[in-house]
Structure 1
């Protein structure tokens, strides 16, 4: 194998140098704020952020602010062992007297309720509603609440990490991570309001190999805090995590081609009982099909009276398909929990309150804005309408249909 020499390779920072840069950034900016707030998703980058900085404070390498608040973003869709790991670390933080809050979307905005109760189709690359709704917006709301409590600007610490090459290029704004970064973290970085907080990403320069070194080797050591991070490393692939450039998103993420992290988890003997989760992605794919959705088949106009460019668009999930999907997802949940080793290891994709709200929204005949449920099913024949006012008849429609 031919190896090409790279001048910049010799310029890469070591693990200790990366920690030193993190310390320098916190000394330079952290002292200006009495209150530090951590945005923590439970993933590898934000977990490294929280555990490392608490260690740096406890070891006297940086000065603690007057107040520390950790905000755990619970999307209700975390891979179960990742959630279990986060709960262990949450307890360790609370035992240290650190204030930890769980941040979650309002009931009607939660993924399963929005999907099955309101009938909004699964997110896609052209309609990516999930990250802002279940992760970013609830966090922004909580940040505003914190600001209202004191009226003072605080320092928001995030786990955004781009690696050295991206830092050199100045690329820190993104909606999905690269180099194994956490889903949506860059989006959150650029969305947090400057009016209530200033933002600092102390791990921006860290490479993914350094993240693994901290989580697998250093963080669990007594001298570094005895953090329970090994389970998190196992979720990402254990010893192979760095090689497969592992990253996690939601269970069965509709935007990912493969559930790499979940596929790794269900091969671990302790988590074989989670294999039914692999049935989620096919359900989401099925819900995108025309036979499962409604379609606008009449002329669509914009507010100014001109024709919309999005004629004959497919829309929400039919009531029948919502009921089918709910039944399938609850069956997955039941299959998992019937084999769960303990009560604490059970998984609730849809809890009892969420299921009740989904069924209530059905009784209220709830549809997304602009839809009322009287529209035709999307797989039925229709007249193809165009934004210039012309039409392309469907081969099997009669002339009486064309006169509509």
Structure 2
């Protein structure tokens, strides 16, 4: 019977059905049933906090010699989490580790972060990926799933098998309920992991209702010293739910203005950050402004202002609609990426000055190094714009690596533009060919340079105007078919 069922119009509490002792006993039974270490997904929200507390108290009741199986408490920091939440989770992890050591509990809290090449800013500003949307939610895979995957696979390699302990509840959505039922193991409290054969899933609060969660948190104190009323206040200030630790594609990611990434554009309006600002966190305003401006780039009528007409592979994709052919736009232009970087660094200066975290970094130096590399090697940025913009906004250098990339001077750039214009040759075509030559310098085998040159030449080098003119010609039916496959 689910916590969502009612009796005589009243909701049935999970504690009326089982009692806290019975819940602890079940957790102990599952914990002691094998030697597989546990991995608890902790997002800092109410559900994951309830799960972690229940497991902690249940294991604490066991004799010390039986607490032999380790419990890893993992939190995923996407590097674009709302600073208030990051601070809360970081302080909680420190308390968990300190309390675990003092009380001889087998818990270790670990913060997971995406690889720099997968980070939000490297993909958005560096590569020009458009802001995530419901149709193209590239962030979840890179920032969350891959991060959790690496830890799970490393744990499986080390221990053979692991059990993921997740704070998911039935009744949150029909899709979630179907997924939970689909992977259940008959006669066991565990479920199969949706993708890893040597990983299992345990969901101790699956029968809890929202009321059960808050009843528990407000009546049972945090064993590591947090005040759960602070968590309640955080929810009230943000007026929304939590962002779950996403460990697979079946876990519903954030996207309903929940606690999570402050740059989330999957929703039309970020109500949680707006509520935080309205409740006194005025220093967050530059972040909300940046996020809203990013969301505007998704408006169909405005996409041409921010995004290339060509895809990342240099081709043009056209879609046929009722009113004719339309270009499906590609990444952000380099000029707009430069604007984004400047705007982000200005926001960083602002929140450092006006917020409670004077050393906060909205973008890491490692991300700036990678963005600079991408711009120089893939986007023909010969002006070394990352270093220049950072110096202008932050007033300091980051010890940039000196190399031959982007070594052309401003006068040489202007000369090249004039030559290309005189010969009616696309400037970017020439710069890409020169970039290929620069990148192949010093290599003992240069045979692959011909393949690289071929790739560049096979890209679409007509202007957007020329392509649109070809699309509207009455006798261009064949060329339309060709354009669609470019």
Q: TM-score range by the shorter chain?
A: 0.7 to 0.9
Contact 1:51 1:227 in 2 (8 A): no
Q: C-alpha offsets along residues 191-243 of structure 1, whole Å, 9 cap, x if unaligned? A: 7533221111112222122333344x235x37x5532444433332259668x
1:390 correspondence with 2:481: no
Instruction: Decide which of 135, 138, 155 is 2:147's aligned counterpart.
Output: 138
Contact 2:134 2:266 in 1 (8 A): yes
Q: C-alpha offsets along residues 33-61 of structure 1, whole Å, 9 cap, x if unaligned? A: 32111122233322322233212322459
SS in 2 for 1:236: helix
Could you list the runs of 5+ residues in structure 2 that have no partner in the other structure? Answer: 102-106, 183-190, 242-255, 319-324, 381-454
SS in 2 for 1:88: helix
Change in CA separation of 1:376 and 1:24 when aligned onto 2, cut-off 3 Å = farther
Instruction: Decide which of 237, 241, 248 is 2:259's aligned counterpart.
Output: 248
Instruction: Decide which of 301, 319, 332 is 2:334's aligned counterpart.
Output: 319
Give the whole-Å Cα distance in 1 for the aligned partners of 2:470 and 2:173.
Answer: 51
Quote how far apart the aligned CAs of 1:384 are.
4.2
1:68 correspondence with 2:83: no
SS in 2 for 1:163: coil
Give the whole-Å Cα distance in 1 for the aligned partners of 2:11 and 2:63.
Answer: 25
1:162 correspondence with 2:173: no
Give the whole-Å Cα distance in 1 for the aligned partners of 2:461 and 2:212.
Answer: 55
| Aligned position for 2:305 | 291
Could you list the runs of 5+ residues in structure 1 that have no partner in the other structure? Answer: 175-188, 302-309, 394-400
Q: C-alpha offsets along residues 358-400 of structure 1, whole Å, 9 cap, x if unaligned? A: 1221111259xx9979675699946549xxx93799xxxxxxx
Quote how far apart the aligned CAs of 1:16 are.
5.8
Quote how far apart the aligned CAs of 1:247 are.
3.3
Quote how far apart the aligned CAs of 1:70 are.
1.4
Instruction: Decide which of 85, 94, 97 is 2:97's aligned counterpart.
Output: 94
Give the whole-Å Cα distance in 2 for the aligned partners of 1:121 and 1:43.
Answer: 29
1:83 correspondence with 2:86: yes
| Aligned position for 2:405 | none
Instruction: Decide which of 355, 364, 377 is 1:364's aligned counterpart.
Output: 377
Q: C-alpha offsets along residues 233-288 of structure 1, whole Å, 9 cap, x if unaligned? A: 3332259668xx9832311311012212112222333x322222211222312433
| Aligned position for 2:365 | 352
Give the whole-Å Cα distance in 1 for the aligned partners of 2:316 and 2:257.
Answer: 46
Change in CA separation of 1:64 and 1:116 when aligned onto 2, cut-off 3 Å = same
Contact 2:133 2:265 in 1 (8 A): yes
Within 5 Å, which residues of 2 pair with 1:32-43?
A: 32-34=33-35, 35-43=37-45
Give the whole-Å Cα distance in 1 for the aligned partners of 2:371 and 2:78.
Answer: 17
Give the whole-Å Cα distance in 2 for the aligned partners of 1:378 and 1:228.
Answer: 61
1:113 correspondence with 2:126: no
| Aligned position for 2:402 | none
Within 5 Å, which residues of 2 pair with 1:261-300?
A: 261-269=272-280, 271-288=281-298, 289-296=303-310
Contact 2:27 2:58 in 1 (8 A): no
SS in 1 for 2:258: coil
Give the whole-Å Cα distance in 1 for the aligned partners of 2:377 and 2:96.
Answer: 43
Give the whole-Å Cα distance in 2 for the aligned partners of 1:173 and 1:284.
Answer: 38
Change in CA separation of 1:143 and 1:293 when aligned onto 2, cut-off 3 Å = same
Change in CA separation of 1:373 and 1:136 when aligned onto 2, cut-off 3 Å = farther
Root mean square deviation of aligned Cα: 4.0
Give the whole-Å Cα distance in 2 for the aligned partners of 1:255 and 1:239.
Answer: 18
Out of 67-76 and 334-343, give the one that drifted further: 334-343
SS in 1 for 2:57: helix
Give the whole-Å Cα distance in 2 for the aligned partners of 1:109 and 1:299.
Answer: 25
Q: C-alpha offsets along residues 322-353 of structure 1, whole Å, 9 cap, x if unaligned? A: 0011111111111111112354xx53221222
**Higher RCO (CA-CA < 8 Å; seq separation 6+):** 1
Give the whole-Å Cα distance in 2 for the aligned partners of 1:130 and 1:157.
Answer: 23
Change in CA separation of 1:239 and 1:273 when aligned onto 2, cut-off 3 Å = closer
Equivalent residue pairs, number = 355
Give the whole-Å Cα distance in 2 for the aligned partners of 1:199 and 1:85.
Answer: 26
SS in 2 for 1:253: coil
Q: More helix per residue: 1 or 2? A: 2
In the superposition, the TM-score normalised over structure 2's length comes to 0.63
| Aligned position for 2:356 | 341
Instruction: Decide which of 314, 326, 329 is 2:344's aligned counterpart.
Output: 329
Give the whole-Å Cα distance in 2 for the aligned partners of 1:29 and 1:134.
Answer: 31
